[in-house]
Amino acid sequence: MPAEDTPAGPGPRGPTQLEKNRALEEWLRWQLGQVQARIRDLEAQEERERQAHAALWKVQPQQSGSPALLHRGDCRLYTGSTYINRGDAVVALTMPEIEPCAVCRPETGLDPE
């Protein structure tokens, strides 16, 4: 048996290796719980942002040889950060120089009121 795990003579005795490792395990479990809680918070924040952007639209400017494109706010094909509301998106779809993105299909459910 290692000297640390043998009973000590009279006087104060420090924690055993087993006690130290149990304390370390408890601390690591606490630390893991903190990280997991942070991950849950960040996932919830991302989901809120995704939902907020899904209710918005964005226009990708015209580039040489291709028309301007209307995208859903959460479309990852165009990462622009200037968003427009539903009314502006409806107007954009009526403009001949703006086409809807073929991937995110921003016109779906965006019928003029």
Residue 11 lies in a domain: no
What is the domain extent for residue 24? 16-54
pLDDT digits (tens, 9 = 90+) for 44-77: 998 888 777 668 899 999 988 889 999 998 888 9
Number of domains the chain is built from? 2
Q: How far is it, in rounded angstroms, from Cα 37 to Cα 31?
A: 10
- 95 and 76, same domain (yes or no): yes
53-57, 91-95, 102-106: the lowest-pLDDT one: 53-57
Q: How far is it, in rounded angstroms, from Cα 89 to Cα 78?
A: 15
- Predicted TM-score (pTM) of the model is 0.55
**Which helix (H) or strand (E) element contains residue 71?**
strand 68-72
- 48 and 65, same domain (yes or no): no
pLDDT digits (tens, 9 = 90+) for 2-45: 555 555 555 578 999 999 999 999 999 999 999 999 999 999 99
